[in-house]
Amino acid sequence: MSIKNGNVRWAFDLRSWRCTLPDLELATSCVQPEERERLSKFHFIDDFKASIIGRLLMRQFIKSCLPELDYNEIRFERDERGKPFFVPATDIRDKIDFNMDFNVSHHERYAVLAGWFGKNSKEHNGRQQHVGVDVMKLEYTGGGKALHEFFRLMDRTFTSNEWKFIKSRNGDQNQTAAFMRHWSLKESYVKNIGVGITIDLQSIDFQLSTDNLFTNKIVRDTVVKVGGKPLNNWLFEESLLDNEHCVGVAVKNPSPEYLELSENELIFEVIDFERLMHDAKPLLNIDPMYCQMVLNKKLKKTV
């Protein structure tokens, strides 16, 4: 699992994870007790799997950045909006001057993490790098509505400029892909600044210069205006994880090390359960009844 100049881009393929009982016993013993309780409230096993993998991605990110930490020293709390953040032990701060930021997202097949870690934070003059990430499936399920009717209902989601781009695509499939691409960008931006989609989405205007996304290639020429003014010190990454899923990353105050990275170094690395759990150590006792309860949960749909 790679950290490139302090930057991480990881994706976990949820569909390929068999989620056996031994896997589940390990996974559910390696999260904080309040998180295990929170996870139990999910009605569908799809949501449970995506959420626990997101939590384990965060733990692996911290452990990879700070290998001197014991696994049980990695602790997260949540802010007033429910966003998790790392709470470092005081003695670690005394030994290492660092800043970090990370964000997770999941949708359909993938859970993803984008993160940044930098030592010698004083050298950055307080301009800490921040990241937001969002993954979307390039699919319109419809709910019985025609695509044009769905677009009408979602009219206030995008600006006139963004709708012009979306509706200029040829055919429903390409229009859907353009819609999801814009949605992923907006989500990555609002998650970066920590406000959620309560913000007026029409005040955020993305201008796409590249018509199509590809796997194994990063698009970095997308720009944004907020309230009609271009944002400075922001970069946006876009790519496809596969032919059905796009991912957007919003980077605020990109560090000098980040700016030195090539596009190839920012491609999402797909990891499996074995790699995710490398160096993980149980925090809780294994609970077979809890795990069986999880395995008895229903799927939202057959995939």
pLDDT in tens, 177-225: 999 999 999 999 999 998 766 678 889 999 999 999 999 999 999 999 9
Q: Report how far apart the first and last C-alpha atoms of the chain are (Å, whole number).
A: 27
Query: In degrees, to the nearest 5, what angle opens at C-alpha 109 toward C-alphas 275 and 50?
Result: 65
- Residue 125 — very low, low, confident or very high, per pLDDT cuts 50/70/90? low
Domain 1-121+261-303 has CATH 3.40.50.2020: no
Distance in angstroms (rounded) separating the CA atoms of residues 201 and 225: 11
Tell me the sheet residues that pair with 34: none
CATH topology of domain 130-252: Ribosomal Protein L22; Chain A (3.90.470)
Confidence check: pLDDT of 302 > 60: no
Q: Which of 125, 118, 61 is nearest to 257 (CA)?
A: 118
According to the model, what pLDDT value does residue 303 have?
Answer: 42
**Other CB atoms closer than 10 Å to residue 236's CB: what's the count?**
24
More reliable by pLDDT, 196 or 247:
247
Distance from the Cα of residue 118 to its chain's centroid:
19
Do 64 and 78 touch, CB atoms closer than 8 A? no
The strands making up 7-13's β-sheet, listed across from edge to edge, are 98-107, 110-119, 7-13, 269-271
Q: What is the pLDDT of residue 123?
A: 52
Q: What is the pLDDT of residue 6?
A: 85
Average pLDDT of the chain is: 91
Mean predicted confidence (pLDDT) in 231-253: 95
Segment (H or E) for 205 = strand 204-207
Reported as a pLDDT band with limits 50, 70 and 90, residue 155 is very high
Q: What integer pLDDT is reported at residue 79 of this predicted model?
A: 86
Q: Where in the chain is the domain with CATH 3.90.470.20?
A: 1-121+261-303, 130-252
Query: In 3D, which of 94, 19, 85, 79 has the Cα closest to residue 49?
Result: 19
Contact 223, 272 (CB under 8 A): no
pLDDT at 4: 82
For 14-36, letters b (16+ CB in 10 Å) and e give beebebeeeebbbbbbbbbeebb
Nearest to 17 by CA among 71, 43, 60, 54: 54
- CB 271, CB 10: distance < 8 Å: yes
Most confident of 68-72, 117-121, 271-275: 271-275
Please determine, for residue 145, whether its predicted confidence score (pLDDT) is greater than 50. Answer: yes
Average pLDDT of 155-170? 95
User: Which pLDDT does position 199 carry in this prediction?
Assistant: 78
Highest mean pLDDT among 23-37, 59-73, 186-200: 23-37
The whole-angstrom separation of Cα 221 and Cα 237 is 8
Categorize the per-residue pLDDT at 297 as very low, low, confident or very high, splitting at 50, 70 and 90. very high
Question: Residue 121 pLDDT > 60, yes or no?
Answer: no
Q: Convert 190-214 to b/e letters by CB count within 10 Å (16 or more is b).
A: bbbeeeeeeeebeebbbebeeeebe
> Are the CB atoms for 291 and 25 separated by under 8 Å?
yes
DSSP state of 231: P
